Amino acid sequence: MFTIDAHLDLAMNALEWNRDLRWTASEINAGEIARGLCDKPDRGKATVSLPDLRRGSIGLVVATQIARYTARDNPLPGWNSPEQAWAQTQGQRAWYRAMEEAGEMVQIRDLAGLEAHVSLWESAIAAGDDCARLPVGYILTLEGADSIVTLAHLERAYADGLRALGPAHYGPGRYAYGTDASAPLGVQGKELLSEMDRLGMILDTTHLCDVAFWEALEVFTGPVWASHCNCRALVDHNRQYSDEMIRAVVERGGVIGIPLDAWMMVPGWIRGKTTPEAAGCNLSVMLDHLDHVCQVAGNAEHVGIGSDLDGAYGREQSPYDLETIADLARLPEMLATRGYAAGDVEKIMHGNWLTCLRRAWAT
């Protein structure tokens, strides 16, 4: 089934992990193991590649640019100035362009491009054709707004294809505070949202601290989604969404993407110690979070996939029954086993994201 994944850090993996995503995940892992790489905990444990996306019929992704600015007293990793962070995002953009020139990917910027790309993939899948040669479509998003040096840079980024933006990531940010931090939006944050409104961008509320989340929904009038958030009712952490936050996104016509980072899936996870097997973290747990969103929303029209696979972690922190992202192709059968109707399965796998995008880009 044609599938949309609303959150993947492809360029980050290509540039910071030095992974050629034209290789399969198996080839990437074999190369890292052969070289004895141990600079990152997920070396040799990658799950995402362009061939594996195609193998799983994941023909459209929301792909990130990401670069945090950290002040001198901020212990989080990041760049020492917004200008350096901007330069990093532009390097990531250059990688996406290179993949386009190689015929591996195609950027989706508007409704016409979206419909043409979806038709291409759905026609190939319906005909039983090999999708191995189809370009993977991507919608460009920015995770954390620290790299937006000025609002003029945001307009420049929009002209270059940026269509969604999450103002915060982890800790204190220049425009909004995110996970494990808390502060109101402030003047800069509100100005950013106003400019996003003017440009017609999608607000990704993922990672916003609670107070900034509620303020953002008051200030911002445009389309909203949460690309990769799980449920606080199941795993109690400020990174997750409370039922009230889920309802707020639903009321705005948004979609919540369910991620596969194990610490957000099961309670009590200890980084570097807990294993997916010991925690019982499998794909069925993902569906528990998905089910909860559906119960809060009252239907299956506001949930989708936002896997965040290889988001600075690998198989050591992913469901134990997932080897690569291609295994998301198992979800339709798993959803059907849980009693989801065929139409609702299609909505979860791609339809809800398409509805959100069509509404956002209709004008």
**Spans of all domains in the chain:** 3-361
Query: Whole-angstrom Cα distance, residue 137 to residue 170?
Result: 27
- Which segments of 78-211 are extended strands (E)? 105-107, 136-143, 162-166, 202-204
pLDDT in tens, 158-217: 999 999 999 999 999 999 999 999 999 999 999 999 999 999 999 999 999 999 999 999
User: Tokens 């052969």 label which residue?
Assistant: 34
User: Tokens 């369910």 label which residue?
Assistant: 258
Tell whether the model's pLDDT for residue 130 goes beyond 90: no
Q: Give residues with Cβ within 8 angstroms of 112, minimum separation 6.
A: none
Tell whether the model's pLDDT for residue 121 goes beyond 90: yes
8 Å CB contact between 167 and 180: no
pLDDT at 64: 98
Is the domain spanning 3-361 CATH 3.30.70.100? The answer is no
8 Å CB contact between 348 and 290: yes
Tokens, residue 20: 């050629």
**If you average pLDDT over every residue of the chain, what do you get?**
97
The arithmetic mean of pLDDT across residues 21-41, rounded, is 97
Query: Whole-angstrom Cα distance, residue 147 to residue 158?
Result: 14
pLDDT in tens, 262-281: 999 999 999 999 999 999 99
8 Å CB contact between 141 and 162: yes
Q: Give residues with Cβ within 8 angstroms of 119, minimum separation 6.
A: none
Q: Which pLDDT band, with edges at 50, 70 and 90, does 316 fall under? A: very high
Task: Give percent of the chain with pLDDT exceeding 90.
Answer: 98
pLDDT in tens, 220-267: 999 999 999 999 999 999 999 999 999 999 999 999 999 999 999 999
Q: Which residues are registered as beta bridge partners of 62?
A: 139
Task: Give percent of the chain with pLDDT exceeding 70.
Answer: 100
Q: Which pLDDT band, with edges at 50, 70 and 90, does 79 fall under? A: very high
